[in-house]
Amino acid sequence: MSSHLRRRVTGVTAGLAAAVLLAACSSSSAVSSSAVSSSAAASPGVSPGPSAAPTGSVGPATSGPLAGLPPTRVLAKAQSAMSVAKSVHFVANGTGQTGGSTGLDLHLLANGDAAGSFKLATQPLEIIRKGDSAYLSGDPAFLARVAPGRTDLAGRWVKLPADDPAVADLLAVADLRTGLGGVLLPKGPLTFGPSGTVDGHDTVAIVESGPAGGIVHVAADATPYPLLVESLPGAAADSTARFSEWDEPVTITAPPAAKVVALAASAS
């Protein structure tokens, strides 16, 4: 299950294909308030739906840090901004071609720490990475594969080394530098789409056409971070990926020791 999710997410980030990304991402649950504290987050739950509002103006930005730049340079600027970002809140939601939906809601830090939840199939799987350790809670089916035979995991956290194969795929997605770092590496031709606003920021829209394409909305009035990735109109998978709270102070903490079941290594 985790490797399937990673393949889906990697497909989107590598090709700007929100439709592929979110064929495996929707209906994410609230981030554990015991794991994350953020001075910016009024609520730790799932962000509201996309707020992109096309204005009809198609072309390069006329002012700000992206003024006059072609699509490839806009993405290069955004990639550069992401490479030095301190933190981000990443939420992905969507429905695949077969109608199934999954999702994720993650707070990510530049040092690799992360906390949030994956909705893979049934119950959410909460995950925390703190340093060299990973903590999992929630989804009974996933935990049963990680710790077979254990019957005392309800309401508790399973602790594993962060490099354990059982969590390698999940943690690869939940990494600001490597998991999301390929989001601005298109494989197809790029054009400008209608400009608009996302979360109060003026944006430039970059469209990658083709079956693996999508639309990336990049902030044009501030640091050029990506704010929204969405599927092309009429795509088989309806999907969005939102980036917010860039560089906001976030503290990620391990679960209370009394609720942790430590495993030396998984059985998978």
* Domain span holding position 170: 2-262
Query: pLDDT by residue (tens digit) across 184-217?
Result: 667 778 899 888 899 999 999 998 877 667 889 9
Residue 145: the pLDDT is 84
Give residue 22's identity as a one-letter amino acid code. Answer: L
Q: What's the rounded Cα separation, in Å, for the pair 129 and 141?
A: 20
Q: What's the rounded Cα separation, in Å, for the pair 227 and 1?
A: 28
Q: What average pLDDT does range 18-34 have in this prediction?
A: 35
Tokens matching residue 90: 């990443």
pTM above 0.85, yes or no: no
Calculate the dihedral angle through the C-alpha atoms of 67, 71, 76, 77, rounding to the nearest 10 degrees: 20
Q: Which residue has the higher pLDDT, 238 or 68?
A: 68
267 in a structural domain: no
Model confidence band, residue 7 (pLDDT cutoffs 50, 70, 90): very low
Question: Which among 9, 1, 13, 53 has a CA at the least distance from the CA of 186?
Answer: 13
Q: Which residue has the higher pLDDT, 67 or 182?
A: 67
Cα 33 to Cα 27, 81, 124, 182, distances in angstroms = 18, 28, 15, 29
Residue 65: the pLDDT is 83
Residue 260: the pLDDT is 93
Three-state DSSP class for 193?
Answer: strand
CB atoms closer than 10 angstroms to residue 88: 23
pLDDT above 90 (res 89) = yes
Q: Which residue has the higher pLDDT, 236 or 29?
A: 236
- Collect all residues with Cβ–Cβ distance below 8 Å to 192 and sequence separation of at least 6: 58, 59, 60, 71, 204, 205, 206, 207
Query: pLDDT by residue (tens digit) across 121-178?
Result: 667 889 999 999 999 999 888 888 888 888 888 889 999 999 888 888 778 878 887 7
Q: What average pLDDT does range 100-123 have in this prediction?
A: 83
268 in a structural domain: no
Residue 37: the pLDDT is 67
Question: Which among 11, 175, 168, 185 has a CA at the least distance from the CA of 94?
Answer: 11
Find out whether 215 and 205 touch, Cβ atoms under 8 Å.
yes
Terminal C-alpha separation, the chain:
12
CA 76, chain centre distance (Å): 19
Which of these ranges, 67-81, 200-214, 216-230, 244-258, has the smallest mean pLDDT?
Answer: 200-214
Residue 39: the pLDDT is 45
Q: How many domains does the chain have?
A: 1
Find the length of the chain.
268
Q: CATH no. for residue 210?
A: 2.50.20.20
Which of these ranges, 47-56, 155-164, 191-200, 239-248, has the smallest mean pLDDT?
Answer: 47-56
Residue 22: the pLDDT is 35
Mean pLDDT of the chain: 75
Residue 120: the pLDDT is 63
CA 228, chain centre distance (Å): 11
pLDDT above 90 (res 115) = yes
Q: How is 202-267 classified by DSSP, letter by letter?
A: EEEEEEE-STT-EEEEEESSSS--EEEEEPPTT-SSEEEEEEE-TT--EEE-PPPGGGEEE-SS--
- Collect all residues with Cβ–Cβ distance below 8 Å to 97 and sequence separation of at least 6: 23, 236, 237
For residues 39-63, one letter each, b for 16 or more C-beta atoms within 10 angstroms of the residue's C-beta and e for the rest, the string is eebeebebbeebbbeeeeeeebbee
pLDDT above 60 (res 220) = yes
